[in-house]
Amino acid sequence: MMAASIVNDGKLMEPTIIQRITDNEKETVYAGPMSIMRQVISRKASQEMKALMAATISCGTCRRTFRGYRRDPVLSKLLIGGKTGSINNKTDELHYDWFVGFCAEMKGTRKLALAVLVVHDKLLRARAQEFARLAMRYYFKKSPHQKSGSA
């Protein structure tokens, strides 16, 4: 919800479980309501957070995972931002790795906010930001008639 508020200019959107249902011809037969709950931070603060989270992608903790995204046919059309983190459990047997972020079309209205949590045992495998990048590509690779207005 935090990332959705940032990508929506500080507006907290009401979470929905089902965004859209389509028939066999990809026509929308149901669209969930998109409603603003309240303004939780100012538009200016939201813009500053977008810039800081975009820096995480270009030169921060996600730079390796998102390397080359500006040449990617899907990701290059998006404003992408994120925040990463990690922590071990009390016994240090498990390592929790997370990514919270957003992406939005630079020339369009589609937006996505997402959070990914990965729990690793002794070996670190795919990191949370790698799954986030895959989810972003998949979501925006959809056909244009499956657009969504807000995250």
pLDDT given at position 42? 96
Q: What are phi and psi of 102, to 5 degrees?
A: -150, 165
Residue 20 lies in a domain: yes
Task: Give residue-wise pLDDT tens across range 84-140.
Answer: 999 999 998 999 999 999 999 999 989 999 999 999 987 778 899 999 999 999 999
Helix (H, G, I), strand (E, B) or coil at 95: strand
Residue 125 lies in a domain: yes
* Maximum Cα–Cα distance across the chain: 52
Residue 151 lies in a domain: no
* Total domain count, the chain: 1
Residue 15 has pLDDT above 50, yes or no: yes
Residue 84 lies in a domain: yes
Which is it for the CA torsion 150, 109, 143, 56, positive or negative?
negative
pLDDT given at position 121? 85
pLDDT given at position 147? 47
Query: Which amino acid is located at 151 in the chain?
Result: A
Domain containing 29 — which CATH number? Answer: 3.40.710.10
Q: Give the lowest-confidence range in 1-10, 17-26, 90-99, 142-151.
A: 142-151
Residue 11 lies in a domain: yes
For residue 62, what are the domain limits?
2-146
Interatomic CA distance for residues 101 and 90, integer angstroms: 27
As a whole number, mean pLDDT of residues 47-55 equals 96
pLDDT given at position 92? 87
Look up the pTM and report it: 0.80
